[in-house]
Chain A
Amino acid sequence: AQSVTQLDSQVPVFEEAPVELRCNYSSSVSVYLFWYVQYPNQGLQLLLKYLSGSTLVKGINGFEAEFNKSQTSFHLRKPSVHISDTAEYFCAVLPAHQAGTALIFGKGTTLSVSS
């Protein structure tokens, strides 16, 4: 079975500072990895995904993530955050051989950006 751990439930940062949201996963099979963002009172929007190939994945809004197979991690980074990045962020995993099934989500990290 797969599982996802988001290591920080809340991350407060100042505007223009860099940020890293940490995600570790557990799986005995190959997986696809995802980051979603949820703005207040909205659904989830896909930020980026890793399916195969380059381990550094670039997404929307200046975010990127690096897949590290040896450490089973998929941390999300942004070099300079804006107030508008305040949201909840979810890491998710999907077994590659079950690509059409449901995602397994972490419990989320709330990013709060202040001026």
Chain B
Amino acid sequence: DVKVTQSSRYLVKRTGEKVFLECVQDMDHENMFWYRQDPGLGLRLIYFSYDVKMKEKGDIPEGYSVSREKKERFSLILESASTNQTSMYLCASSTPTGAGQYFGPGTRLTVT
């Protein structure tokens, strides 16, 4: 069974902290994605990566960075967390021919 896992289901951090969200996939997929989900806004793309050490900005990259040192792992970094980054974060992966993405269970981050 294919799997995308995320390091935490729930996370509470303080304003100004550096936050790492980890995502691992076991399908040998080249492409990986980070989305943010907010009520009434659907899913918005933060960053995606199509290869190790390669990254592309999505629609809302401000305040975030990413790291992809290994094919199976894609990390989202909040350099200095702010309350407006309280949200659900979803990781996904796909092959280059795409035709659908596989999603992790999500991390619900609360910044206080």
Contact = CB atoms under 8 A, between A and B. Distances in A.
Interface string B88-112: 0010101111111111111010000
B31 A43 contact: no
B50 A100 contact: yes
Nearest to B10: A41
Interface stretch (A68-76, A79-87, A101-109): A101-109
Given A9-B40, A105-B43, A44 B103 contact: yes
B99 A105 contact: no
Interface string B36-56: 000011110100101000000
Given A9-B40, A106-B42, A107-B41, A101 B106 contact: no
A interface, over-half SS: loop
A107 B41 CA distance: 5
A46 interface: yes
A46 B108 CA distance: 20
Nearest to A34: B100
A100 B105 contact: no
A99 B35 CA distance: 17
Interface residues on B, range: 20 to 34
B100 A49 contact: yes
B33 interface: yes
Interface in B10-38: 30-31, 33, 35
Contact of A100 (B4, B98, B103, B106): B98
A46 B100 contact: yes
B63 interface: no
Contacts of B96: 99-100
Interface of B: 4, 9, 30-31, 33, 35, 40-43, 45, 48, 50, 58, 90, 92, 94-106, 108
Q: Which 4 pairs across A and B sit closest by C-beta, in order of nearness?
A: A99-B98, A100-B96, A107-B42, A43-B103
Given A34-B100, A90-B43, 7 more contacts: A32-B100, A41-B106, A41-B108, A42-B106, A44-B103, A101-B31, A102-B35
